[in-house]
Amino acid sequence: MPAPLANIHGQMMPLEDVKVSVLDRSFLFGDAVYEVMRVFGGKPWLEQEHFDRLRGSLAAIRIEGVDLDRLRRRMHETIAAGKFGECTVYMHVSRGAAPRKHAFLKQSLTPLELLWVQEYDDGPTALARQHGSSVITYPDLRWHRCDIKSTNLLANVLANEAAAEADCSEALLYLPDGTMSEASHSSFFTIVGGVLHTTPLKANILPGITRNFVIRLAQKADIPLREQAIAKEDLFRADEIILTGTTSEVLPVVRVDGQKVGSGEPGPVARRLQEMHDQAVREFLSRH
Ligand code: PDD
């Protein structure tokens, strides 16, 4: 397996050789945003959508002066240099390094522009996609701007750890009012009576790229969609539940908090969306 290859400010090097200052604000404050992209056969999937979201995240936290076209070129150069095929790209832009001080406007900062490419083994996730996965529910302890893809992920980390300790792949997060937001590192949908349900974007969730792509697939397949609040109890009445995310793709959930979802097997809507997703990737690869 080739070693992960990094690119920091245009310089390529093995990931383990990258050095970042301890005064970098992503280390001290989590003052940074990121993206994770899936690459199929050397070609980044939904690339424009990821760069658009990165632009939005940077603007939302007022990190200025990052040339995203240049970052994009560096990404392609790094994928090509490492001859990567099936891989992921992690991109991380922080506000930069400066003496520790919360406010940032009066400091002259150069954003840190880091990315790395690493080979991706889809095997375990492919198996979960085939058989379905189990999840827990867990309180959403995050801040009020989860639409920004920031590296402040402590609440997500703790939620996912609780899931892992329960031998589950994900944690579906619930808010104090008893409605659901999203999962610790994925979006999710329920399916009830053939209708796809998901939390609206105006609630406190990340605008998932795969979420949006799956909504487009559902429109093509004439599967009705309802973007409205999902109560925690609704999970236990759903016929099907799916997780969506960059590496999860369309992942059926077959148990929530130990209870079977529907028949306890991946359902027909999940299967249909999986097929459409795979077909879309095949078409993308044949076009590029
Ligand atoms: N996670 N919600 C959260 C909180 C996420 O962190 C992610 C992605 C998603 C799915 O978004 P997308 O379809 O754009 O990948 C939803 C990434 C992959 C991660 O943190 O590793």
Q: Is the pLDDT of residue 1 over 80?
A: no
C-beta of residue 36 within 8 angstroms of C-beta of residue 272: no
Tokens 């994925």 locate to: 186
Q: What CATH number has the domain bearing residue 220?
A: 3.20.10.10
Q: Residue 218 has which token pair? A: 């559902």
**Token digits for 244?**
């969506």
Boundary of a domain, candidates 85, 120, 155 = 120
Q: What is the DSSP letter of 178?
A: S
Residues with CB under 6 A from ligand 1: 36, 156, 182, 185-187, 206, 208-211, 244-246
The residue to which tokens 């603007």 are assigned: 59
258 CA distance to ligand 1 centroid (A)?
24
Residue 60's domain is classified under what CATH number?
A: 3.30.470.10
83 carries an active-site annotation: no
Residue 240, token pair as written in the block: 């099907």
88 & 157 share domain? no
Predicted pLDDT at 202: 86
Instruction: Report the nearest-CA residue for atom 16 of ligand 1.
Output: 186
Q: What percent of the chain has pLDDT over 90?
A: 97
Distance (Å, whole) CA 45 – CA 37: 7
Residue at token pair 């999937």: 45
What is the total count of domains within the chain?
Answer: 2
pLDDT tens per residue, range 149-207: 999 999 999 999 999 999 999 999 999 999 999 999 999 999 999 999 999 998 799 99
Q: How sure is the predictor about 101, in pLDDT bands with cuts at 50, 70 and 90? A: very high
Q: Which pLDDT band, with edges at 50, 70 and 90, does 288 fall under?
A: confident
Same domain, 109 and 179: no
**Final residue in a domain of this structure, among 56, 87, 120:** 120
State the chain's mean pLDDT as an integer.
97
130 shares its domain with 84: no
C-alpha distances in angstroms, 14 versus 107, 120, 245? 31, 16, 27
Classify residue 254 as exposed, middle or buried by CB count within 10 Å of its CB (0-12, 13-18, 19+): buried
Neighbouring C-beta atoms of residue 115, cutoff 10 Å: 23
For residue range 8-49, list pLDDT tens digits in order: 999 999 999 999 999 999 999 999 999 999 999 999 999 999
- Please indicate whether residue 1 or residue 249 has the higher confidence score (pLDDT): 249
- Asked if residue 266 and residue 137 are part of one domain, the reply reads yes
pTM as predicted? 0.97
Q: Cα 47 from chain centroid?
A: 13
Domain boundary among 80, 102, 120: 120
pLDDT at 108: 84
151 & 209 share domain: yes
Helix axes 47-60, 209-220, angle to 10 degrees: 130
Ligand 1 centroid to residue 110 C-alpha, Å:
26
Distances 16 to 6, 91, 272 between C-alpha atoms, Å: 8, 16, 41
Q: What is the pLDDT of residues 253-276, one digit of tens each?
A: 999 999 999 999 999 999 999 999
Same domain, yes or no, for 115 and 129? no
Task: Say whether both 273 and 197 belong to one domain.
Answer: yes
> Which is the closest atom of ligand 1 to the Cα of 149?
6
Same domain for 129 and 110? Answer: no
**Taking residues 72-101, what's their average pLDDT?**
97
Q: Are residues 91 and 198 in the same domain?
A: no
Q: Between the CA of residue 65 and those of 58, 112, 139, 277, what are the distances in Å? A: 10, 11, 37, 35
Taking the C-alpha atoms of residue 209 and residue 53, their distance in angstroms, rounded to an integer, is 8
Same domain, 153 and 77: no
Q: Mutate which of 34, 152, 181, 186 to test ligand 1's pocket (most atoms within 8 Å of Cβ)? A: 186
> Is 35 found in the same domain as 165?
no
Question: Measured from the CA of 187, which atom of ligand 1 is nearest?
Answer: 16
Catalytic residue among 83, 101, 106, 149: 149
Give the Cβ contact number of residue 250 at 10 Å: 25
Range of the domain at 186: 125-287
Residue 100 has pLDDT above 80, yes or no: yes
